[in-house]
């Protein structure tokens, strides 16, 4: 295989809480080539953000811990580095854009201080050089009259502008890889379009690799080359972008695609929701993680967990974690556009969900008032 | 119309006549005319004087017909939630009329308003903040029933259980507390509470924005089922254009306190007249790489201006690629350009 920029092998990140061990990332393997854009899609709590934080070694410890795995970045093992070495990579070779531009900038420092800090630290620039570069960067991400605004504080910027500042900061040291964790979720549609457009152009211009983490299938459709779908701490489907949308092979991906209303839908089609709730990662289902919500489940799904394997009738790099669609499975020929699943199974799932949550113990007391 | 055309086009009444977005067709549940909601900005500690106002809603006209869904879309801060609240008189509107089933709400007293509230309810955005954590589900849903004297005792309990069943929850959950439920289930409780008083009209203020993708569809389907079953009328407020398109019969687009376009769903999404609607629609990503690679995006520059000091003339002119001299001088009227398709723009169309 060609030289990969990032190789993650069998990564397990867990959180040790009072209620038990939360298996947030549970054996994730993937790689990113230089200049490539990879999308990681999933619902909240599926482990996509924790994966990104693990790559940067930013998991708060305790309660979190990277239990097992290997993260090779540019030929070096990130997990074996000491703190100083990690600091040399963080922000320098791998940069991160966070979801919430309102809270991820320091409110008491000017924009110029925040961006030039990294420049002075990593690139050993002196003050005036760093300032010049900061202004260039702000220009690059489209902040009008950057020269004047460089000494402003974050509160003087709007949400979209702050996200631009975050991007400028991420770009400051010419990183090889940028992790963008829901970069547009907190923004309005028109601003989202601006930011996505900017990211796309920057990726093209600087040949930076991106990992775009989002729950919005629409965002990844236009931005990425490959997509990994995550569910319950595991990657459940891997494919290149066109293939994933044209020929998805995992019932969870079908469910996601069927349950979102599309702007270009012709008729008022009925949405087909995924019944039930995302899994509890303290006590995940024993077999396939998606089994309790899957309309196509069979007994084998509850008993054994399917491996992430190449799927017949699909492109060579298309893999999915499903007994049904794998060689000899019962879903190999199913057309997900037409099928809505077994109605009896759907009813069963609805019944089960109606029974949740578990019975309160006798003498259950009202919850303590929320801490303020 | 041609016979009665007044000779002075600048006459404000003339504008009203042409803004037929408010004309009563006899089938309207709600009529909103020239509704304004300004929040004062004050200065000073003891003697507070007003130094300005946030013009959150600044003169909007629309109607909602019986058992239809009117979608209200716009970016954050455009006044869509304020509109919803001002209609239910949760805020006292600064000016304008809100007629519900022929009754003028802004002039009603407290007791009369309470009676009217039984017929109109609200579903809130945040299912975590809108349920009292110290009340059981039974009390949360039962309270409106009691307030409006609809049922008591055993009858009330039965009614609460029936409501839980209607929204797809286990009817024996009445003794549980909100923290025992997931976000989607809490939103169902919020919906059951709104339904408890058998309303005709529900303002849904971003009811699915806080939910996960796979749960959103469950709640959308539930809202649609309930509408068919109870002949409900919805004002559906959201920022997600795909969702609004899915659920609405007609859609109104708001920008900075004004409705810029109002049309039937298909017309608005296929032939948007106002440049802002066009930009908004082109900005929504579509989950299909083949379409995404071919689409042309209209990317608006800049941010939404402040509602304290909105731009002169057309409020959109600072970001509009079609803007001419006239746009910064004259506020365009809200005119019916095609049948049931209103827009406020000097240069409407493609």
Residue B350: the pLDDT is 67
In chain B, pLDDT over 90 holds for what percent of residues?
40
Alpha carbons within 13 angstroms on the beta-carbon side of residue B263 total 22
| pLDDT bracket for residue A142 (50, 70, 90) | confident
Cβ of B290 and A245 within 8 Å?
A: yes
Beta-strand runs (E) in chain B: 28-43, 49-65, 69-73, 95-100, 103-104, 120-123, 201-205, 233-238, 250-255, 258-264, 335-338, 341-343
Residue B17: the pLDDT is 39
Q: Mean pLDDT in chain A?
A: 83
pLDDT of B174 > 80? The answer is yes
Contact of A274 with chain B, judged by CB distance below 8 Å, is answered with yes
Contact of B228 with chain A, judged by CB distance below 8 Å, is answered with no
Contact of A189 with chain B, judged by CB distance below 8 Å, is answered with yes
Closest chain A residue by Cα to residue B220: A271
Residue A282 CA to residue A299 CA, distance in Å, equals 23
How does DSSP assign A242-253, residue by residue? HHHHHS--SHHH
Q: How far is B42 from chain A (nearest CA, A)?
A: 21
Q: What is the pTM of this model?
A: 0.82
**Mode of pairing for the β-strands spanning A94-97 and A177-181:** parallel
Closest chain B residue by Cα to residue A267: B246
Residue A94 CA to residue B304 CA, distance in Å, equals 33
> Which of B129, B289, B292, B306 to mutate to test binding with chain A, by most A CBs within 10 Å of its CB?
B289
pLDDT of B299 > 60? The answer is yes
List Cα–Cα distances, B248 to A207, B183, B223, B240, B296, in angstroms. Answer: 43, 23, 11, 12, 25
pLDDT in tens, A172-225: 888 889 999 888 877 788 888 888 888 888 888 888 899 999 888 888 888 899
Q: Supply the ipTM of this predicted assembly.
A: 0.77
Residue B255: the pLDDT is 92
Cβ of A262 and B292 within 8 Å?
A: no
Residue A135 CA to residue B106 CA, distance in Å, equals 53
Interface of A with B in 23-62 (CB under 8 A): 43-44
| CB contacts, 8 Å: A258 with chain B | 217
Evaluate whether B202 touches B193 at the Cβ level (below 8 Å): no
Cβ of A367 and B133 within 8 Å?
A: yes
Residue A339: the pLDDT is 64
Q: What average pLDDT does the segment B277-302 reach?
A: 85
pLDDT in tens, A71-82: 998 888 888 888
Residue A364: the pLDDT is 42
Q: What average pLDDT does the segment A121-126 reach?
A: 86
pLDDT of B263 > 90? The answer is yes
Q: What average pLDDT does the segment B244-272 reach?
A: 92
Cβ of B288 and A264 within 8 Å?
A: yes
pLDDT of A336 > 90? The answer is no
Residue A287 CA to residue A310 CA, distance in Å, equals 19
Q: Between B350 and A260, where is the model more confident?
A: A260
Evaluate whether A298 touches A323 at the Cβ level (below 8 Å): yes
Q: How far is A222 from chain B (nearest CA, A)?
A: 5
Residue A354: the pLDDT is 64
pLDDT in tens, A252-301: 998 888 888 888 776 566 788 888 878 888 888 888 989 888 888 888 88
A181 closest CA partner among A216, A211, A221, A218:
A211
pLDDT of B220 > 80? The answer is yes
* Dihedrals phi, psi of A39, to nearest 5 degrees: -105, 135
**Count of A-B CB contacts under 8 Å:** 154
Cβ of A263 and B221 within 8 Å?
A: no
Cβ of A255 and B214 within 8 Å?
A: yes
Q: What average pLDDT does the segment A347-362 reach?
A: 59
Residue B13: the pLDDT is 42
Domain boundaries, chain A: 6-224, 270-355
pLDDT of A26 > 80? The answer is yes
pLDDT in tens, B61-111: 999 999 899 999 988 888 888 999 999 999 999 999 999 988 999 988 888
Contact of B73 with chain A, judged by CB distance below 8 Å, is answered with no
Cβ of A354 and B170 within 8 Å?
A: yes
Q: Between B8 and A178, where is the model more confident?
A: A178
> Which of A165, A185, A188, A275 to mutate to test binding with chain B, by most B CBs within 10 Å of its CB?
A188
Cβ of B239 and A188 within 8 Å?
A: yes
Residue A299: the pLDDT is 86
pLDDT in tens, B316-329: 999 998 888 999 99
Closest chain B residue by Cα to residue A157: B303
Residue B6: the pLDDT is 41
List Cα–Cα distances, A115 to A105, A118, A161, A179, B76, in angstroms. Answer: 10, 6, 14, 17, 28
Residue A186: the pLDDT is 75
Interface of A with B in 85-144 (CB under 8 A): 144
Interface of A with B in 201-260 (CB under 8 A): 215-219, 221-222, 241-242, 245-246, 255-260
Cβ of A256 and B213 within 8 Å?
A: yes
Alpha carbons within 13 angstroms on the beta-carbon side of residue B43 total 4
pLDDT in tens, A70-118: 999 888 888 888 888 888 888 888 998 887 777 888 889 998 888 898 8
From the list B136, B179, B279, which residue is nearest A190 (CB)?
A: B279
Residue B9: the pLDDT is 41
B83 closest CA partner among B246, B220, B258:
B258
In chain A, pLDDT over 70 holds for what percent of residues?
90
Name the class of domain A6-224. Answer: alpha beta
| pLDDT bracket for residue B216 (50, 70, 90) | confident
pLDDT in tens, B101-126: 889 999 888 889 988 889 999 998 88
End-to-end CA distance of chain A: 53
Cβ of B168 and A350 within 8 Å?
A: yes
| pLDDT bracket for residue A369 (50, 70, 90) | very low
Q: Within 10 Å of residue A328's Cβ, how many Cβ atoms?
A: 8
Q: Mean pLDDT in chain B?
A: 86
Residue B168: the pLDDT is 84
């Amino acid at each position: 295989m060609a030289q990969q920029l990032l190789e993650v092998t069998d990564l397990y990140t867990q959180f040790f809480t009072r209620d038990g061990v939360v298996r947030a990332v549970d054996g994730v393997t993937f790689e990113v080539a230089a200049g490539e854009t990879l999308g990681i899609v999933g619902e909240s709590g599926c482990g996509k953000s924790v994966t990104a934080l693990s790559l940067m070694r930013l998991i708060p410890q305790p309660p979190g811990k990277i239990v097992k795995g290997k993260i090779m970045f540019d030929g070096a093992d990130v997990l074996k580095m000491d703190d100083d070495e990690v600091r040399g990579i963080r922000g320098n070779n791998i940069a991160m854009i966070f979801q919430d531009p309102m809270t991820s900038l320091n409110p008491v420092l000017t924009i110029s201080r925040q961006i030039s800090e990294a420049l002075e630290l990593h690139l050993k620039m002196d003050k005036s050089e760093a300032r010049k570069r900061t202004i260039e960067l702000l220009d690059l991400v489209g902040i009008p009259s950057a020269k004047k605004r460089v000494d402003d504080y974050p509160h003087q910027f709007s949400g979209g502008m702050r996200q631009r500042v975050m991007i400028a900061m991420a770009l400051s040291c010419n990183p090889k890889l940028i992790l963008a964790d829901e970069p547009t979720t907190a923004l309005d549609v028109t601003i989202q379009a601006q930011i996505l457009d900017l990211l796309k152009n920057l990726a093209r211009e600087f040949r930076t690799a991106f990992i775009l983490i989002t729950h919005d299938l629409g965002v990844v459709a236009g931005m990425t080359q490959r997509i990994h779908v995550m569910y319950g701490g595991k990657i459940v489907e891997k494919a290149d972008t066109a293939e994933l949308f044209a020929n998805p092979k995992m019932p969870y991906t079908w469910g996601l695609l069927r349950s979102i209303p599309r702007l270009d839908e012709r008729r008022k089609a009925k949405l087909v929701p995924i019944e039930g709730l995302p899994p509890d990662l303290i006590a995940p289902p024993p077999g396939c993680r998606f089994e309790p919500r899957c309309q196509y489940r069979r007994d084998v799904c509850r008993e054994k967990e399917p491996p992430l394997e190449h799927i017949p009738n699909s492109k060579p790099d298309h893999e999915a974690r499903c007994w049904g669609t794998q060689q000899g499975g019962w879903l190999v020929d199913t057309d997900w556009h037409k099928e809505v699943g077994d109605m009896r199974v759907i009813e069963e799932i609805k019944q089960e969900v109606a029974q949740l949550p578990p019975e309160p113990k006798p003498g259950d007391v009202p919850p303590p008032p929320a801490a303020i | 119309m041609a016979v009665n055309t007044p000779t002075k086009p600048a006459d404000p009444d003339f504008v009203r006549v042409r803004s037929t977005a408010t004309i009563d067709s006899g089938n309207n549940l709600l009529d909103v005319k020239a509704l304004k909601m300004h929040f004062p900005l004050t200065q000073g500690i003891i003697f507070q004087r007003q130094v300005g106002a946030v013009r959150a809603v600044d003169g909007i006209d629309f109607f909602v017909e019986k058992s239809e869904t009117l979608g209200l879309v716009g970016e954050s801060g455009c006044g869509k939630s304020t509109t919803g609240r001002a209609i239910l008189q949760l805020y006292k509107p600064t000016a304008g009329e809100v007629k519900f089933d022929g009754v003028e709400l802004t002039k009603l007293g407290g007791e009369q308003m309470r009676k009217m509230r039984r017929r109109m309810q609200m579903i809130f955005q945040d299912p975590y903040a809108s349920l009292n954590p110290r009340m059981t589900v039974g009390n949360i849903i039962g309270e409106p029933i009691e307030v409006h004297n609809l049922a008591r005792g055993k009858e009330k309990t039965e009614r609460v259980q029936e409501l839980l069943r209607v929204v797809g929850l286990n009817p024996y959950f009445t003794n549980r507390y909100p923290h025992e439920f997931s976000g989607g289930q809490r939103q169902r409780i919020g919906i059951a509470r709104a339904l408890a008083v058998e309303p005709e009209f529900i303002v849904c203020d971003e009811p699915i924005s806080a939910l996960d993708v796979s749960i959103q569809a469950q709640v959308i389907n539930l809202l649609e089922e309930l509408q068919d079953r109870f002949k409900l009328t919805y004002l559906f407020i959201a920022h997600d254009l795909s969702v609004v398109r899915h659920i609405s019969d007609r859609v109104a687009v708001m920008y900075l306190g004004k409705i810029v376009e109002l049309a039937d769903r298909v017309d608005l999404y296929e032939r948007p007249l106002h440049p802002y609607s066009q930009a908004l629609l082109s900005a929504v990503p579509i989950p299909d790489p083949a379409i995404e690679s071919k689409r042309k995006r209209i990317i608006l520059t800049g941010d939404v201006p402040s509602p304290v000091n909105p731009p002169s003339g057309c409020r959109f002119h600072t970001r509009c690629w079609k803007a001419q001299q006239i746009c910064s001088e004259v506020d365009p009227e809200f005119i019916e350009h095609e049948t049931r398709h209103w827009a406020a723009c000097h240069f409407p169309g493609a």
